[in-house]
Structure 1
Amino acid sequence: MNSAAPLIDSRPASVAQLFLSRVAETPDREAYRYPVPVDEHAADSTPGAEQWRSLSWGQAAERVYAIAGGLMALGIRPEERVAISCSTRIEWILADLGIMCTGAAVTAVYPSTNADETSYILDDSGSRAIIAEDGVQLAKILGVIGGLPELRHIVTVDGSKPAEGADLPEGVEVLSLAELEERGGAYLKEHPDAVVSAVAAIDREQLATLIYTSGTTGRPKGVRLVHDCWSYQAAAQSSTGLLSAEDVQYLWLPLSHVFGKTLTSGHIQLGSVTAVDGRVDRIIHNLPVVRPTYMASAPRVFEKVYNGIAGRARAEGGAKYKIFLWAAKVARDYARTGQETLIATGTRSVPLGLRVQHALADKLVYAKIRAAFGGRMRACVSGSAALAPEIGFFFSGAGVHILEGYGLTETSAGSTVNPGEDYRVGTVGTPLPGSEVRIAEDGEILLRGPGVMRGYHNQPEKTAEVLESDGWFHTGDIGEIDKDGFVRITDRKKDMFKTSGGKYVAPSEVEGRFKAVCPFVSNILVIGNGRNYCSALITLDEPTILQWAGAHGMGGKSYAEVCSSTEVHELIDGFVQRLNGDLQRWQTVKKFTVLPRDLDIEHGELTPSLKVKRPVVERENAAAIEAMYAGANEA
């Protein structure tokens, strides 16, 4: 029997039960860290200064119990939905646990979701209450609440209230999170066993979370994840042996997204420390302060770090830039050679000459990179989209080990992950204990296991399209499994296209290669479905390209002006030609357009987990795409 099997098979019915057990076992152990502003009246304070505060498991439980009691006092009952519209912060986690400890279910809403879609999600889910972060979220909800007869309670994290004289629908109440916790305390004085009884009554097949997929077309679908999905994730993550109770996790991912949410389950199982701060612009600042041993991220963060390192080296010029280029090549050669020998012999080894070069490069370059990650990072997990292998090999050689994993909202995130020291760049690892993977005849990846959703909310027809009666879920991804059981994703089934010449192109493969050769790129979309050649829409990393522009006589120009300049087009063309040199003829990018702004969540071009919404980008840039094919007949 697999050594992980007992842990998987004996998992509790819910993470709520797991949380109560964790609190009982280690009440005084540190559980969470979160940033708070330094008292502005303190003698040594500086504007904007912050400090990190801690919560023990026992202290966290006090707040979770109070939130659960408060919801019970509002009349929330098991499986009724309570929405959360809030950025990643300690209150999101406490609210999520509080809702689960009542036996109710969380409706996750991205705070960036517009009013119309927020209204749809709250209505479709039948949410009775919502925990909203601030006045912005409150205003959005008040603007649509007239069409939400089920929504009776709005709880604001920061204490925001409606403007004086605001006309609220009859029976709708707005209160602060502090007021909810105060009511919860009073409720639990009268019903001291209420939370423990509610948790004990949770059935593992009871609805725990509704996460709405950010659809590229049509309305999003509500993914039904039951308590057992999260309990399984907690047990499976723990059983990999990748993490321990001594780890410090840095958590910035959106908690409304399945990738961020699942990390909270594994953390409770282990009883480790999680430092929580969802502000993306603070990641680089926070890492040396938190000094985490573990972090999960989307590939875009690693790409930005790589571009930043390369950009700074280029700006320093001369010998320093040459040293960086040499060190980058050594890192890739070292990591790739070690991986090839691992696959061939079962042991990582590299020739003596390369080891000597690597040791020198470590002193000159790699040590500084590891220091930027806090100096204690044992491993990072990358998911949500593909990491370009060349970037993966670079960080691997530099001693920042990025373990790619794979999963979807419909599988409560993790289905596969790379195993510790035996990880293989370019793959998403092997199945988590308890999960199964197989490849269909057409190359589609199918998944089965306890983490798979129980269906789409109120959409049985859509459920039947992807979920077979024997539990196999159709992912929509194309991939393969090697002889050692490692899974490799080659593309999205719906993203692959055929040129007018009949050749299939996997755009993500071409895009990943371009990100490895061009340190200025932010996003790239390869286009060519039904066309006689491939083209590309390219956006550039703003700090990196503006730094380059300043050194090439364009200082003071705006980002849009720089991107539209002849100089930048020539710069990027050089990288496109380098890309084309390693591609099959039908894969090569014949024409490209540098867009005047980067893609973002606000314009609906990126999901909150930073995946590109291809149909949206192609629709918004239809004129630019047509211009790249105007009058073109060449093959």
Structure 2
Amino acid sequence: MTIKTPLEMLYHQVETRPDELFLVQPNNGNTTQYTWRQFDRQVRKVAQGLVNLNLPKGSHVALISKNCAEWFITDLAIMMAGHVSIPIFPTAGHETISYVLNHAQCPVIFVGKLEHADEQLQAIPKTVKSIGFAYPGANCDLSWEDFTSLEPFDGYPTPALDDPMTIIYTSGSTGSPKGVMHNYSSISWTASSSLDALSVNADDRILSYLPLAHITERILVEMASLYSGMQIYFIESLETFKTDIHRCQPTLFISVPRLWTRFQMGILAQMPQKKLDILLKIPILSGIVAKKIRKGLGLDQARLWASGSAPISPATIHWFSKIGIDISEGWGMTENCAYGTSSVPFRKDKVGSIGKAYEGVDIRISDEGEIQVKGPCNMQGYYLEPEKTAEVFTEDGYLCTGDKGEIDSEGYVKITGRLKDIFKTAKGKYITPVPIEAKLMENAIIEQVCVTGSSLKQPIALLVLSPEAKLKPKEQLESSLQDTLNNVNASLESHQVLDRLLVVEEDWTIENDFLTPTLKIKRHVLEKKYQDVINASYKQKVVWLS
């Protein structure tokens, strides 16, 4: 196929649908709407502002903000001005922001919607020019209004496919972030291919709320919208999420396991499981109840639901399937444009797998059981780190993912763990934590879990309860957890049997550094923090840590 760059697709959409709605940005209870023509004009103003800075071609321009229309505008403007975008997670702390700006040698940074703008702005060196979007706290060298008060850029530049487009720094579950280099070819091929794979078209609507600094949102939301012409709705804040999703009425909805669990617990808080089970067994009534629940979530117009970033419990998928929400898992990495496998179309008999390889992507299992992937979506390498680049590619060009897995006769892939997460107990037995964690997560009161214990004879599990569960009587929770422990242990080999469950009071969040920006657990941080309680002796099988 002929690959078009995102800029060429912008020109195409402006030419063919100039006055159709593209972006909807809520702010203080109101919304700002952008047609394709209006979006293009804003892109050109920012591009001209960048041109006026007289930066060398191919300069690295950083961007830190929660999702908003200005994020899209700036990203396209960076391309139009001939530069390379360096997105930074909006939750990034001082150390990460400093590291990325220094490592990528960014002369300019755009700053937008942030939770801790004052602290984060302090990480920007005086040598880096900052431009602030028109949101509270973005107090920068130049305001958005001043930077865009000029005549729009006049021209239709087309980058070469092998030109660098972006460097995306990995969220760093271990060590310093690595800068994943993608050129226009890998991004453009993936965005274009995703339309057919997921049947995306101009009639679709999607809510953009997962970080645009993450490859999945960047490809399957931002880039896919440029290639398909679909509408994008942003959220104003987590507090307005319900209002924002109802405004959007998405036809496509991508989420993460933690949010799906929150949805589930919210539904069960209004209707107990026993009552729901009874209603869903009554033929005519079941459809009415399921539709009412979907409508309450704002998802009654959706035709495709997806989950990624971390494993989701098969029990959760089956639970949602009963109310007409068939969640398709997908898998990928920053290094391959998040374009590895997909479970679309949904198949109930394949729940627990991450789906099949996308067309054009080749997946194999190495002799060590590692999932390896090859395709036009693969990165060019890690910025300024040729040794690490060489380590992650095989001699025949496959990307080593670090995930262990297996492939069935129909090509469906199942992840069985992370190579680096496997640990050895004091007995010398190897433990793969992910499958055990998945079994524990089948209990909906458990929101987060980490199986560990390299210094112990038997592994243990640290876990955090859901907010709804924390409101229930302790005796009820302990009974539920004890049953779960017994059931899970009955399914495990003797060396895998969990000695106990440790219930942690503090949530694991991005802010307290227990989670990466993509909500993956930082095992090494957790193990260091809870080292003493992990190694302590307890008589109880369910231990409550205060």
Shared fold per TM-score greater than 0.5: yes
Q: Deviations over 1:243-299 (max 9, x none)?
A: 222111111110111111112111111111111226344333432332111111111
- Matching residue of 1:345: none
**154-163 vs 598-607, which moves further:** 154-163
Matches within 5 A, 1:316-327: 321-326=273-278
- The structure 1 residue matched to 2:108, chosen from 129, 143, 148, is 129
Q: CA deviation at 1:142?
A: 5.3
**356-365 vs 293-302, which moves further:** 356-365
- Matching residue of 1:182: 149
Q: Which amino acid aligns with 1:488?
A: K
Q: CA deviation at 1:363?
A: 3.1
The answer as to whether partners of 1:86 and 1:133 remain within 8 angstroms in 2 is yes
Structure 2 distance, partners of 1:161, 1:498, is 47
The unaligned stretches of length 5 or more in structure 1 are 1-8, 38-49, 164-172, 315-320, 331-355, 550-564
- The structure 1 residue matched to 2:250, chosen from 270, 279, 292, is 292
- Matching residue of 1:256: 213
The answer as to whether partners of 2:23 and 2:232 remain within 8 angstroms in 1 is yes
The answer as to whether partners of 1:161 and 1:175 remain within 8 angstroms in 2 is no
Q: Which amino acid aligns with 1:427?
A: S
> Which structure would you say has the larger Rg?
1
**304-313 vs 256-265, which moves further:** 304-313
SS in 2 for 1:304: helix
Task: Judging by fraction of residues, say which structure has more helix.
Answer: 1
Structure 1 distance, partners of 2:121, 2:247, is 39
- Matching residue of 1:102: 81
- Matching residue of 1:170: none
Q: CA deviation at 1:368?
A: 1.8
Matches within 5 A, 1:74-113: 74-113=53-92
The answer as to whether partners of 2:93 and 2:120 remain within 8 angstroms in 1 is no
Q: CA deviation at 1:471?
A: 2.3
The answer as to whether partners of 2:27 and 2:236 remain within 8 angstroms in 1 is no
- The structure 2 residue matched to 1:573, chosen from 482, 504, 515, is 482
Matches within 5 A, 1:395-544: 395-422=320-347, 424-501=350-427, 503-516=429-442, 518-529=443-454, 531-544=456-469
- Matching residue of 1:224: 181
The answer as to whether partners of 1:405 and 1:418 remain within 8 angstroms in 2 is yes
**Cα distance change of structure 1 residues 542 and 617 upon mapping to structure 2, 3 Å threshold:** same
Q: CA deviation at 1:71?
A: 0.6
**Cα distance change of structure 1 residues 142 and 303 upon mapping to structure 2, 3 Å threshold:** closer
Q: Is 1:606 paired with 2:515?
A: yes
Structure 1 distance, partners of 2:192, 2:367, is 32
Q: Is 1:368 paired with 2:293?
A: yes
Q: CA deviation at 1:537?
A: 0.6
The answer as to whether partners of 1:606 and 1:612 remain within 8 angstroms in 2 is yes
Q: CA deviation at 1:366?
A: 5.6
SS in 1 for 2:415: strand
The answer as to whether partners of 1:85 and 1:137 remain within 8 angstroms in 2 is no
Q: CA deviation at 1:360?
A: 4.3
Structure 2 distance, partners of 1:372, 1:119, is 39
Q: CA deviation at 1:122?
A: 0.2
The unaligned stretches of length 5 or more in structure 2 are 542-546
SS in 2 for 1:79: coil
- The structure 2 residue matched to 1:310, chosen from 261, 268, 276, is 268
SS in 2 for 1:607: coil
Query: How many percent of aligned residue pairs carry the same amino acid?
Result: 27
Q: CA deviation at 1:377?
A: 1.2
The answer as to whether partners of 1:134 and 1:156 remain within 8 angstroms in 2 is no
Structure 2 distance, partners of 1:534, 1:278, is 42
Q: Deviations over 1:467-506 (max 9, x none)?
A: 2343210000011111111111111111123444454433
Structure 1 distance, partners of 2:236, 2:169, is 20
Matches within 5 A, 1:160-239: 174-183=141-150, 185=151, 188=153, 192-193=154-155, 196=156, 199-200=157-158, 202-239=159-196
Structure 2 distance, partners of 1:489, 1:450, is 22
**Cα distance change of structure 1 residues 279 and 610 upon mapping to structure 2, 3 Å threshold:** farther
Structure 2 distance, partners of 1:359, 1:579, is 36
- The structure 2 residue matched to 1:384, chosen from 297, 309, 313, is 309
Structure 1 distance, partners of 2:480, 2:32, is 46
**Cα distance change of structure 1 residues 396 and 117 upon mapping to structure 2, 3 Å threshold:** same
Number of aligned residues: 539
SS in 2 for 1:414: coil
Q: Which amino acid aligns with 2:250?
A: P
**504-513 vs 114-123, which moves further:** 504-513
Structure 1 distance, partners of 2:235, 2:245, is 11
Q: CA deviation at 1:357?
A: 5.1
SS in 1 for 2:19: coil
- Matching residue of 1:27: 18
Q: TM-score, normalised by structure 1?
A: 0.79
Q: CA RMSD in A?
A: 2.6
The answer as to whether partners of 2:290 and 2:324 remain within 8 angstroms in 1 is no
Structure 2 distance, partners of 1:574, 1:279, is 38
The answer as to whether partners of 2:291 and 2:300 remain within 8 angstroms in 1 is no
Q: TM-score, normalised by structure 2?
A: 0.92
Q: CA deviation at 1:115?
A: 1.3
Q: CA deviation at 1:36?
A: 2.2
- Matching residue of 1:17: 8
The answer as to whether partners of 2:234 and 2:244 remain within 8 angstroms in 1 is no
SS in 1 for 2:414: strand
The answer as to whether partners of 1:297 and 1:381 remain within 8 angstroms in 2 is yes
The answer as to whether partners of 1:211 and 1:409 remain within 8 angstroms in 2 is yes
SS in 1 for 2:510: coil
